Amino acid sequence: MESSVAAGPGRIVATLDDGQRVLDETRTRMLDGDVEAAYRDLVRVLFDLRWRLGERSWGTFVEDVAPAHPLFALLGQDPMIRHCRAKPRGYAGDARLLDMIYDGVSAVADEPMSELGRRLFDCGFRAAPSRAVRERAGRLSRAIDACAAGGGTRVLAVACGHLRELEHAISVREGSIERFVALDQDAASLAVVDERYGHLGIETVPRGVRELLRRPAPDERFDLVYAAGLYDYLGASFAHRLTAALFDRLAPGGQLLVANFMPSNPSIGHMDAMMQWPLIYRTPLEMEALIDADDTATVDVCADSVGVVTDLRITRV
């Protein structure tokens, strides 16, 4: 089972047989009890393999080779991986999955879990993407508090999920935010927000982001608008139009904050092949290209400390 990808200068071309051997070796090591080290090595090798196989052969590996291998079923003992593959809300990285990333094993306490599943779950909890998601939530919490400290009182969270950044947003709990609108198309997510944060005055709105493009911007403007994980699923054209629509909803001095996973994510191959969690990755330059900056806006792009997520911050002058 050979790959026909041609080699470029200095490039070592992999074959699908190489990928098969990686899976064979990883399964043997995990069954022998070498779980954590085998997991780390698998993540590292799949990152490299994704690049060396090329797009077409990597697609074959993700769609055909990996799911048919016994390692795929073995890794399914991990509740996080199992949830990603099941996609109960239509996509892998849903709000329930993020709760697992935030809360760790306590989030799956009611689920049956083998010892291997527990160890795999712990590996995923400590992996770079999970650390990046938790760090992202912290930045959002601080952005909300900074908005309130600067006199801003109106916040719009787009595709809010379970809105877990409010766990550490002191200004919301102190009532410093006059209006906080949480928008999501998923009624189940909004029900969780209502239950968990409704007493804080959070206003939930059942609406998809496409409606933001179809409707003109209302007269009300927000001091902070943000989208955490949404852009990881949006193509370039739609993301560009949505960014303009969200910018139109900013008050003077208001800030738009958009986060996106970068292609430097070291778990990109593992997420593609073993978790069945594909994302649309963007470099910092690609993030900057999402807004047609002029003298009405200042633009800043900054990567996180993990090297996985980058933030696009646009301020209306």
Specify if 203 maps to a domain: yes
The answer as to whether 4 is a domain residue is no
Q: How many Cβ atoms are within 10 Å of 4's Cβ, its own excluded?
A: 9
Contact 85, 269 (CB under 8 A): no
Pairwise CA distance, residues 304 & 249, whole Å? 26
> Residue 275 is part of a domain; what is its CATH number?
3.40.50.150
At 119 the pLDDT is 98
Residue at 166 is within a domain = yes
**136 and 119 belong to one structural domain:** no
The residue from 101, 128, 155 where one domain ends is 128
pLDDT in the model for residue 7: 34
Domain boundary among 113, 128, 143: 128
What's the pTM?
0.93
Do 229 and 112 have their domain in common? no
Shared domain check, 157 and 54 = no
Q: Is residue 9 part of a domain?
A: no
Q: What is the pLDDT along the chain (317 residues), one digit of tens a residue?
A: 333 333 334 446 689 999 999 999 999 999 999 999 999 999 999 999 999 999 999 999 999 999 999 999 999 999 999 999 999 999 999 999 999 999 999 999 998 899 999 999 999 999 999 999 999 999 999 999 999 999 989 999 999 999 999 999 999 999 999 999 999 999 999 999 999 999 999 999 999 999 888 877 677 899 999 999 999 999 999 999 999 999 999 999 999 999 999 999 999 999 999 999 999 999 999 999 999 978 899 999 999 999 999 999 999 99
Domain end among 128, 150, 175: 128
| Domain of residue 92, residue span | 16-128
Helix (H) or strand (E) holding 299: strand 297-303
Within this chain, do residues 165 and 278 fall inside the same structural domain, yes or no? yes
| Total residue length of the chain | 317
Asked whether residue 6 is assigned to any structural domain, the reply reads no
Question: In this structure, are 28 and 74 located in the same domain?
Answer: yes
Say how many domains are in the chain.
Answer: 2
232 and 113 fall within a common domain: no
Element (H, E) at 252: strand 250-261
* Sign of the Cα pseudo-torsion (94, 100, 106, 112, in order): positive
